[in-house]
Structure 1
């Protein structure tokens, strides 16, 4: 080739080629990392412009480094055409590389198309120089240009796509590979120039000093602009990253707050608020015909005992284990913790309602396996209520309430099973709710009252005491059975207030009878399991008795045998505290529990009340009922206790009890529970006799 060789311009070409490669890699990564469309278009524009400037500059400077003969003027039109082709190739490079996986077809087709574009850049650049003697454009030379340019573009595309992932954007590796790519660009450019002009003598650089000056200026301008562009993009990215981190921290904080507001902190399951939102969407899909929907209300049997005996930390770990096991069968998005030991599952997209029953049985079977908590094997079983849409309700509230009612039916039916909701459960649930709401105002509205059932001496029949029994007449429901409303009061946490009212009313009645000169007797008051666990109950009772001006010996409290033995050591301490204040105690329903003689002696109660089951069995004949009652009486007398037989309904029962030496009798044979006015007449009659 006849011309001049300039080493300085060749080095500038290497620098520009390296910057092109680095800019292409950098822009590809920026585009891939952008999540907003506007950010992607900005990086397309910046990256395409910088790559285009680099391609145009490297061709211009590279050709000046191997200037063919003496250059004359430059053609501005062809120079602009070369620049536009360079910009198009820059954008094309970014578009082809911007994909998750660069397939072979996209890679080869893109390389060929862009290779043709680079060949046009080369052709326009040579034509713009108007070199003396012209430039030979032959098909064979053009084909070689396209092949060389296609090879270079293919190499560049692979390099760009390899660094598209954020994890592989290492600065040192990018820089070294960019230099290697720049050297490849220079080699391919020199080969293309040699193909255009053939071989010949290279003249000294002094033959065209203007070309050296022009090439240096263009090189410096290109290097400075591309370097400034890279520096500016890096600065913008750093500011953006810092802003995103701050925004991300706020978003993360908001997400954490939202998660805390919508999820149970103990199990990580959705809470009732998130459950309601998801149920609304599930109901909308069910109404649109996308399968059947059912709600399962799950309560753990025996969890309270574990929580009370082993501690709340054990209970928390157990709940986490239960949640994990339930989530293994149910989709976690359809499972929620309602609070305590209660969970709700929403089953949707079911082909038939039978699918819900199958899942309920599967959950029951799954929960039969024990849980290992801190080396202790614990076992809880589920009681499950099932409600179906739309049969059992159209709203979130109705379905959950009805499934809850069915769950209580499962508990009442023996636990460790499931029940499907029916209308009768709704009626019972409404009645329970009505009772619960009525009890909230029962103390104030005067609907509560005390009935008194007399206790008589077993030998003489004289009145020796009475048992105070709570009665309630609801304004709408009428007289509510004590067992029913007391159970509701215990579940709703109102039993303590009712129990205090009973003590206060009994003392008021005793004070009134005493002030009127009537003969008073000792009144027995029943305590519920929850009430006796109440902190400070003995002080409250002693305060009420003292305020009424009575003696604590006039009040006797009764607890059932099973309740006393539930926590015998604690019961012993409680009874000791009551005795210290002068109160006497009786063990009710004796014979139905599992009292040990040791604890019976520790309790030091005043009376044992024989359960009516044994009393009524006396009429059936046979030796066993009589022998059992005789043994209880003998045991009680040996321990210095009185014996009361309750549920005496026939003269034959009374006769046998008198023969066995029973101290007191109580039952319908002698008198039914009666209001205070009638009991007053009974007392007066007894006193007159």
Structure 2
């Protein structure tokens, strides 16, 4: 007998096969992403059921598309067996494609078994018709259907395994294309097997009174689409829910990480360090548990951060953090407290010297420069060490004492380490008191200016003055600049203090002018922290203009060390000041780099010889004289005036005059004077008294000697 095909049903079978294939691809990705074993088994079972129904229904829709001139039906039991075969084959396929690896051997074996299962499902479905006489099959086409089933199964397994990852690019489009290919292959296998079936003339269907074809067709069409679509929806919903849960979990983990670790260096932060020290304390109090806290910060980091920018500063901090990690053992903790402050917690020490060895290793490692944007930067830490139980038995005490030891290391010359000692707390307390005094000094008027006169070397006439800052606190008393300037420089207070000095110097010059005293040039020191401010010149100009002061009455002094830190930038700063009418001097010449080649780039108005070389005129007469003479000759050749500071003996004065030093400054000629006393000196200079009289009158007017 010959049958005919309903091509609408043929097309529907292809759609069902494609949809079943896409469901398989989607489920493979969903199952592969699950980590819990119970969830994987549940989705495997549910997915196998949905996929099996899809494959089975494609087969029966294809059968329904074929019609014979005799009544047809299907045995319910055999039909149920074919459905069971389809579900088992689908379960096997999902287990294979969700496996971590799919090697060639596993793929071939799985393809053969799955292909035979699909073929078995098909021919079992044919057997459900119970044809009499039985269907005669073409061996060649049967073999072809088996080959097609195996090849199609292998291709389907390979594509499903390859496309199971959800995070690959264009995964939806790839799965749709792959499902169409798989659907065509499955459909092709089915109709090849159908072509292999020959129905003898006069054959009847023994199951014609079994499952009704119309009922079967309607049921299959409705339930297949419903099951596959619901399965896809559940898969997508569950995937989105899992993705949301995973995102929330990752966000929560990130928040917890941010709460416990420093965002820049990824080191433990203060909170985490505190917890680690608390655990070390608990362990140490139960038995012998010596451990050390190493507190450190980077000397010179603020200058780098302010002058080169926070981006460069951040790179320096990250490089320093990595070097710290490289210097400690696995059980130790390296933490960043903030800014350039770091702490190492060393557990289970045998001897205190082990902490010192680590500190020295850190110092040695930091002698190597840090490279940022092809720029070599040199920074070194000062390290303070506190030991448990000797130096404290609480987190706060140990950190405070290690901090005090770190400041002692700074006072000892920086770039070194110190163990905590009891008297260091006194120095730390003094530092805190001075910091507090600096905070309130500007508002409450505790600052004042003294003026140390400078005299011409050729005739002893008054050449100008240097403004020197003093702090007279009601509790701490009179503080010298040596005590509070370095603290103000470290914590940044030097910037507003420096602007106050400029403003107060301008006001004092105007007061002298109001008294009809002769005009004089006042020199003001600029610290490295001030020079790092991008708006330094603009702010100074605003102050000078607001005080109605002429720029030619003010000179700014920059130390040689600060000038040589970034020569290019400092040269630009000097030239900018000069364009605005301010004169600039290099102070403490000879104490830093002593790079004479750079002097020509700066083109400053004045060079101040450091007192160390002036002292050398007496201590090493010939050598000292030769050095000072060379400096003066060099400066004169570059068009600079030379000031010798720290002149304290008559022999120094005479030698400097003989060497043609332009100006002299020191206690021999005049001590730092109050504004009123300096005004008297200005009045005396109107009569141009002899130098010896000037010196004798100038000295008594000042307060007791105060170091600069």
Normalising TM by the smaller chain, what interval? 0.5 to 0.7
Name stretches of at least 5 consecutive residues in structure 1 with no aligned partner. 134-149, 195-200, 264-268
Give the CA deviation at 1:442: 2.1
Match of 2:100 in 1: 100
Task: Determine if contact 1:450/1:470 at 8 Å carries over to the other structure.
Answer: yes
1:271 is aligned to 2:271: no
Q: Secondary structure at the match of 1:485?
A: helix
Give 1:646-685 correspondences, 5 Å limit.
Answer: 646-657=645-656, 665-676=664-675
Q: Superposed, which structure 2 residues align to 1:417-428 within 5 Å?
A: none
* Structure 2: distance between partners of 1:102 and 1:640: 84
1:618 aligns with 2:617: yes
Q: Does 1:536 align with 2:552?
A: no
SS in structure 2 opposite 1:271?
Answer: coil
Q: In structure 1, the residue corresponding to 2:451 is in which secondary structure? A: strand
Match of 1:444 in 2: 443
Cα deviation for residue 395 of structure 1 reads: 7.2
- Give 1:178 deviation, angstroms: 1.7
Shift of 1:28: 3.7
In 2: Cα distance, 1:570 partner to 1:179 partner: 81
Q: Does 1:45 align with 2:36?
A: no
Distance in 2 between residues matched to 1:32 and 1:73, nearest whole Å = 35
- CA separation of 1:631/1:39 partners in 2, compared to 1, >3 Å: closer, same or farther? closer
Which of 279, 287, 305 is 2:279 aligned to? Answer: 287
Q: 1:60–1:683: structure 2 CA closer, same or farther, 3 Å change rule?
A: closer
Matching of residue 33 in structure 1 with residue 34 in structure 2: no
Residue number in structure 2 paired with 1:546: 548
Cα drift, residue 483 of structure 1:
3.8
Aligned to 2:537, what secondary structure does the other structure show? coil
Structure 2 residue 225 is matched with structure 1 residue 228: yes
- Compared with structure 1, are the counterparts of its residues 239 and 664 closer, same or farther at alpha carbon in structure 2 (3 Å cutoff)? closer
1:165 aligns with 2:161: yes
- Alignment partner of 1:177: what SS? helix
- Closer/same/farther in 2, CA of residues 9 and 482 from structure 1, 3 Å limit: same
Cα 1:84–1:662 change in 2 (3 A) is closer
Kindly indicate whether the alpha-carbon contact (under 8 Å) linking 1:18 and 1:181 is maintained by their aligned counterparts in 2.
Answer: no
Give, in angstroms, the shift of residue 204 of structure 1. Answer: 1.3
Per-residue CA deviation, residues 348-377 of structure 1 (Å, 9 max, x unaligned), is: 999997796698479658x65967x5xxx5
How far is the alpha carbon of 1:617 from its aligned partner? 1.9
Question: 8 Å contact 2:588–2:610 — kept in the other structure?
Answer: yes
SS of 2:621's equivalent in the other structure is coil
What SS does structure 2 have at the residue aligned with 1:673? Answer: coil
Shift in alpha-carbon separation, 1:231–1:319, aligned structure 2, 3 A: same
**Structure 2 unaligned blocks of 5 or more:** 134-145, 164-173, 284-288, 327-332, 685-692, 698-708
Residues in 2 aligned to 1:166 and 1:487: alpha-carbon distance in whole angstroms:
66
In structure 1, what is the equivalent of residue 187 of structure 2?
A: 179
Deviation at 1:472, TM superposition (A): 1.8
Matches within 5 A, 1:133-212: 161-167=157-163, 169=175, 170-179=178-187, 182=190, 202-205=200-203, 207=204, 211=208
* Cα gap change, 1:612 to 1:384, in 2 (>3 Å): closer
Change (3 A) 1:18 1:409: farther
Give the whole-Å Cα distance in 2 for the aligned partners of 1:120 and 1:553: 105
For 1:237-248, what aligned pairs fall within 5 Å after superposition? none
Matches within 5 A, 1:78-89: 78=77, 82=81, 89=88
How far apart are the structure 2 equivalents of 1:338 and 1:624?
50
Q: Is the 8 A contact 1:300 1:382 kept in 2?
A: yes
When the two chains are superposed, the root-mean-square deviation of aligned CA atoms in Å is 7.0
Equivalenced residues, count: 624
Cα deviation per residue 1:559-609 (whole Å; 9 max; x = unaligned)?
A: 44565674575366346435x4xx66655435554446984995445xx54
Partner of 1:139: none
1:336–1:345 Cα contact (<8 Å) kept: yes
Residue 624 of structure 1: how far off its partner (Å): 2.9
Within 5 Å, give how 1:370-409 maps onto structure 2. 378-384=375-381
Q: Give the 3-state SS of the residue equivalent to 1:217 in structure 2.
A: helix
Alignment CA distance shift 1:421-1:99 (3 Å): farther
Deviation of residue 113 (structure 1)?
13
Taking structure 1 as the reference length, what is the TM-score of the superposition? 0.61
Over 3 Å counting, the alpha-carbon distance change for 1:56 and 1:362 in structure 2 is farther
CA distance in 2, matches of 1:428, 1:180: 92
With the length of structure 2 as denominator, give the TM-score of the two structures: 0.60
Higher-Rg structure is: 1
Indicate the SS of the match to 1:535. helix
8 Å contact from structure 2 (residues 20, 228) kept in 1: no
Call closer, same or farther: CA 1:25–1:426 in 2, change over 3 Å.
farther
CA distance in 1, matches of 2:115, 2:231: 27
* Separation in structure 1 between the aligned mates of residue 378 and residue 6 of structure 2, nearest angstrom: 83
Give the secondary structure class of the aligned counterpart of 1:546: coil
Equivalent runs, 1:264-413 vs 2, <5 Å: 271-272=263-264, 275=267, 280=272, 283=275, 287=279, 360=362, 364=366, 378-384=375-381
